[in-house]
Structure 1
């Protein structure tokens, strides 16, 4: 899995750095990963990213697939490569979850069937996709000397609602790794946001692995009081949200041109 991540990091870095990683930064990648990584950087898919443009990659998958960990790791590794050449500079990469785009509980209560909306919270229609699209559009705009930092909401599990303007994306940030369940969904407005991405990645994982990860996550975060409750919650998340994504996975590749299907042991990047 480390080798696969190395290839992804090198591919993303090559697009930022116009064709290759800095010589000093090559020491940060294990030798066994460089050969295949360089093959990736020379593939026909790669193109340069202008200095006034952000590299934007969306990582999607079912709940518990490891997409959050992968997005975080990608941003971390890109920053390490950049710091090797610019040790005094601010980070250039960040990961950005779509969790903050949940409709609030108050908004769900205003829907035609509030009970159904509350029970299905986490499904695509319980997210403010239009608001997320506006964020993606603003990040896709050219960066100029007059550009300002952009802010996105986070999600507070303690209060079970989003926190506005909690995540800063500064003008110095040139690579954004979005992560969320529906970033490859072929449905308005998600497909419009997807069309603005440089690449779409889908993390493919079996349900059992995802279930075990969700149980551990919910117990550790205090979302569930014990493993029994966490297990029920995990199955609900997988079938209500992940099940549809799993069934439509082949459509993602066909209709939204997913750039990459990632598999393996999600524990390696979770």
Structure 2
């Protein structure tokens, strides 16, 4: 699918500058990064947060809200894990709302983390101190207009859509699946099957992003 809006080519340094412009000491702002599977969301988010420093930014990925494998089996969705209805979207929206409302004298909020080597989420893994002004969250479905996803979007100050070249994205996906134990055949099956179906849906949401970015 071709993304219709203009894509901004940008360096990581420019992304850091844009993120820094969102920071207001004493206030809570939330920046979302989205894009299709293999777009580089987690890598860019981690690099942004590292560049900004722990007193300024903390990363809270959407992937912590994967439904557990046993739940997906009960729902008959295990074979398409990663689709929008294989996440606890309501739980994610409620966490983002809580982070948005968090103030300097409030308690630490703990967010879940997804462990790829386990293929499961671990609760209360990411502490979010109330004094950190910027939360960076990343995930596939931040701009989806169904279920609880719009409630989460309403709490985000900006959402940037990452749009690398399709060949680059596909190559990343295959390498990722192989790195987590899949055979080359199974890696390609997931990358060009379930992942690609999800990508088409996600790319259809790009027009609702504040920026569409290709990292150079």
Paired residues of 1:96 and 1:179 also in contact (CA < 8 A): yes
Question: Partners of 1:186 and 1:91 in 2: how far apart?
Answer: 33
Gaps of 5+ in 1: 17-48, 80-89, 266-270
Q: Is 1:63 aligned with 2:37?
A: yes
Q: Which moved more, 1:166-175 or 1:195-204?
A: 166-175
Gaps of 5+ in 2: 1-7
Task: Give, in whole Å, the separation in 2 of the partners of 1:75 and 1:233.
Answer: 29
**Quick check: 1:207–1:238 contact (8 Å CA) kept in 2?**
no
1:199-238 matches, within 5 Å, as: 199-220=158-179, 222-224=180-182, 226-238=183-195
Q: TM-score, normalised by structure 2?
A: 0.88
The structure 1 residue matched to 2:27, chosen from 38, 53, 67, is 53
Q: 2:92 aligns with which of 132, 138, 141?
A: 132
Counterpart for residue 82 of structure 2? 122
CA deviation digits over 1:196-252, x for unaligned, max 9? 1010110112332111011222222x331x333322221124323112112x14xx4
CA contact (8 A) 1:65 1:205 kept: yes
Q: What SS class does the counterpart of residue 166 from structure 1 fall into?
A: strand
Structure 2 residue 13 is the aligned partner of structure 1 residue 6: yes
For the 8 Å contact 1:63–1:237, the answer to whether it is kept is no
What is residue 60 of structure 2 aligned with on the other side?
96
Instruction: Kindly indicate whether residue 173 of structure 2 is the aligned counterpart of residue 173 of structure 1.
Output: no
- Work out the CA distance in 2 between the residues paired with 1:215 and 1:172: 39
The structure richer in helix per residue is 1
TM-score (norm 1): 0.71
Q: CA RMSD in A?
A: 2.0
Output the CA distance in 1 between the equivalents of 2:122 and 2:68. Answer: 10
| Cα deviation, residue 142, structure 1 | 4.1
Q: 2:71 aligns with which of 107, 131, 150?
A: 107
43, 47, 57: which one aligns with 1:73 = 47
Q: CA deviation at 1:188?
A: 2.5
